[in-house]
Amino acid sequence: DGADVLVNFQYDRFDNRYIPSSGSTAVLTYLTSEQSLGADAHFTQILSNWFTAWTTGPHTLIGGVRYNTTLHNDAPVYALFRVGGLFNLSGLQEDELVGQNAGMVLTSYRYNFGGKGLFPAYGGISVEYGNATEHPQDVFDNGILNGSLYFAYTSPLGPLYWGVGFAEDGRRAYF
């Protein structure tokens, strides 16, 4: 059972939630799970991220960082951080790595092929570096370099992505 108290600050000025062209988004969350409220375990976590997008003409750059930590490395298995998947260490399978601490830096370039209105299409590349680990210092000290090549399309039903992700050890993930 979980019973959490959290304090959350969120700033979101992205122009599009899924395929942003401008603006920034940032989140800072302090979470504590309390046995006095009915939780099975007591643990405290801090979750943070910041991403920003800039566009000029058909070119868009996106950059950002995510860092999540469990303060005393005592989170139960259901509260561990998971990484892997598109733009979250793209060369790994979805949620492939699990740890008390997780982080990532990302940079991405995207080109708009000229579609407007309901049917814009994009091609892009991303580079990501990070990990999920037991020790906070290992998140970036023992990070894994990842990247992706992708095609994105804004459909009336939502965003569609096709591509391939690469991890430094030769792994690939298709999405």
Contacting residues for 36 by C-beta, under 8 A, at least 6 apart: none
Q: Within a 13 Å sphere around the CA of 144, how many CA atoms are in the beta-carbon half?
A: 22
Mean pLDDT of 112-137: 90
94 pLDDT above the threshold of 70:
yes
Other beta carbons within 10 angstroms of residue 123's beta carbon come to 14
Residue 119 pLDDT level (bands cut at 50, 70, 90): confident
Mean pLDDT of 135-140: 96
In tens, the pLDDT along 45-70 reads 999 999 999 999 999 999 999 999 99
d(CA 37, CA 139): 31
114 pLDDT above the threshold of 90:
no
Amino acid at 148: S
H-helix or E-strand spanning residue 167: strand 158-167
CA distances from 40 to 44, 70, 71, 74 (A): 13, 16, 17, 12
The pTM score is 0.92
Q: What is the pLDDT, as a whole number, of residue 118?
A: 65
| Mean of all residue pLDDT scores within the chain | 95
In tens, the pLDDT along 4-30 reads 999 999 999 999 988 999 999 999 999
Q: What is the pLDDT, as a whole number, of residue 157?
A: 85
